[in-house]
Amino acid sequence: MSAQNPCMSCGACCAYFRVSFYWGECQSAGGTVPDSQVIAVSPHLVAMSGTEQKPARCVNLMGDVGGCVRCSIYEQRSSTCREFAASWEDGSHNPSCDRARAAHGLAPLEPLEPLWQPPQTPEMTPVVA
Ligand code: SF4
Ligand code: SF4
């Protein structure tokens, strides 16, 4: 995540949904997700621990939702985590992002979310001899 990423001051989806995925993504099966951080929820699916219950909150979510947050296994997180896009991150709306934010009293992200904009750099000016 970049410094401009609004997810870094949100974390609502990690504390709202059941975050489940195929067990083959676990380290014991050759994947990346630490086995100690998941719980089996079906013969083929596991969920991030803490998200299988209500209220849900992944054990790897550090910080306060809506404040400064981070994922303690960011590089090892599952495909479900990687593929969940914040609204307008890639130009498209994700109603599930809105729903998770609303559940935590956070307003939906806007299509022109200023936090998604890259840092401003000085304009290149041609040098005229
Ligand atoms: S593993 Fe990280 S990104 Fe995935 S639900 Fe947990 S805190 Fe969120
Ligand atoms: S709810 Fe949306 S903005 Fe918040 S952390 Fe998840 S993807 Fe990012």
Burial (Cβ within 10 Å: 0-12, 13-18, ≥19) of residue 10: buried
Which ligand places an atom closest to the C-alpha of 90?
Answer: 2
Ligand 2 centre and the CA of 32: distance in Å?
A: 22
**pLDDT, average across residues 73-83:** 98
**Residues near 89 by beta carbon (within 8 Å), at least 6 away in sequence:** 116
Global confidence as pTM: 0.87
**pLDDT, average across residues 19-47:** 98
Ligand 1 centre and the CA of 128: distance in Å?
A: 52
Nearest CA to ligand 2 atom 3: 7
Task: Please report which confidence band the pLDDT of residue 117 belongs to, taking 50, 70 and 90 as the band edges.
Answer: low
Number of continuous H segments (helices) and E segments (strands) in the chain: 2, 5
Which ligand places an atom closest to the C-alpha of 102?
Answer: 2
Judged against a pLDDT cut of 90, whether residue 115 lies above it is answered with no
Ligand 1 centre and the CA of 126: distance in Å?
A: 46
Domain ranges of the chain: 6-111
